[in-house]
């Protein structure tokens, strides 16, 4: 019986770590998904696919994954700079969405870990606070 229990325990630990994420990240992503549905979805669309040449994709976006700080800055303050995402140039302005710092962290965690994106490091409130214009 004990052996069975231990076996189950040892088998379940790696399985859990694969299937269940850090609960803090999960909660942040859940809140972030609501922010996304309110502020982001009309342009970046339901699966983060965006609109070619107009609204950059977030799903599997090389710009997003390689420019973490600039992406946080864009969400925090809005942006009007030319960027290249997956080989396509974008030059439309994104207005300042007017989010609180916690909300910026939550929506960043959502988009950094959805639609095939993933990151090892959770975006924290401190990280957003430290991001300057």
Partner 1 sequence: MKKSIILFQLIVVTFNFSCGQESENQVDIPENSPFSAELLIDGLEIPWGMAFLPDGAILITEKSGELIRFKDGIRTKISNVPQVYQRGQGGLLDIVPHPDYSNNGWLYITYASSEGEEKGGHTALMRAKLKGNELVDNELLYKGSPNTTKGQHFGSRIVFGDDGYLYFSIGERGARDENPQDITRDGGKIYRINDDGSIPQDNPFVGTEGAKTAIYSYGHRNPQGLAKHPETGAIWDNEHGPRGGDEINIIEKGANYGWPVITYGINYSGTPITDKTEMEGMEQPIHYWVPSIAPSGMAFITSDKYEGYQGSLLVGSLAFQYLERLVLDGNKVVKREKLMGGLGRVRDVRQGPDGLIYVAIEGKGVYKLIPKS
Cα atoms in the 13 Å half-sphere on the side-chain side of 118: 6
Closer of 17 and 53 to partner 1 (Cβ): 53
Q: Which of 62, 69, 96, 129 binds partner 1 (CB under 8 A)?
A: 96
Q: How far is the CB of 75 from partner 1 (least distance, A)?
A: 13
Q: Check residue 120 for interaction with partner 1 (CB under 8 A).
A: no
**Angle at CA of residue 61, ends 60 and 62, nearest 5°:** 115
Contacts to partner 1 from residues 31-60, by CB under 8 A: 37-39, 41-42, 45-46, 54
Q: How far is the CB of 14 from partner 1 (least distance, A)?
A: 33
Q: Which of 75, 99, 111, 123 binds partner 1 (CB under 8 A)?
A: 99
Structural contact between residues 88 and 53, judged by C-beta atoms closer than 8 angstroms: yes
Q: Check residue 133 for interaction with partner 1 (CB under 8 A).
A: no
Structural contact between residues 86 and 19, judged by C-beta atoms closer than 8 angstroms: no
Structural contact between residues 101 and 125, judged by C-beta atoms closer than 8 angstroms: yes
Q: How many residues bind partner 1 (CB under 8 A)?
A: 17
Structural contact between residues 117 and 47, judged by C-beta atoms closer than 8 angstroms: no
Structural contact between residues 85 and 65, judged by C-beta atoms closer than 8 angstroms: no
DSSP SS3 for 120: coil
Contact track, partner 1, 74-93, x by CB under 8 A: ------x----------xxx
| Binding positions for partner 1, rule: CB under 8 A | 37-39, 41-42, 45-46, 54, 80, 91-93, 95-99
């Amino acid at each position: 019986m004990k052996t069975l229990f231990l076996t189950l325990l040892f088998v379940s630990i790696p399985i859990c770590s694969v299937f269940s994420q850090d609960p803090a990240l999960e909660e942040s992503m859940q809140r972030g998904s609501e922010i996304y549905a309110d502020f982001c979805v009309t342009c970046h669309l339901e699966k983060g696919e965006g609109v070619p040449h107009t609204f950059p994709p977030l799903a599997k976006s090389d710009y997003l994954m390689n420019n973490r700080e600039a992406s946080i800055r864009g969400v925090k303050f809005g942006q009007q700079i030319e960027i290249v995402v997956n080989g396509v140039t974008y030059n439309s302005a994104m207005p300042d969405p007017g989010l609180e710092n916690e909300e910026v962290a939550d929506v960043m965690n959502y988009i950094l870990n959805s639609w095939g994106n993933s990151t090892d490091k959770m975006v924290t409130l401190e990280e957003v606070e430290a991001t300057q214009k």
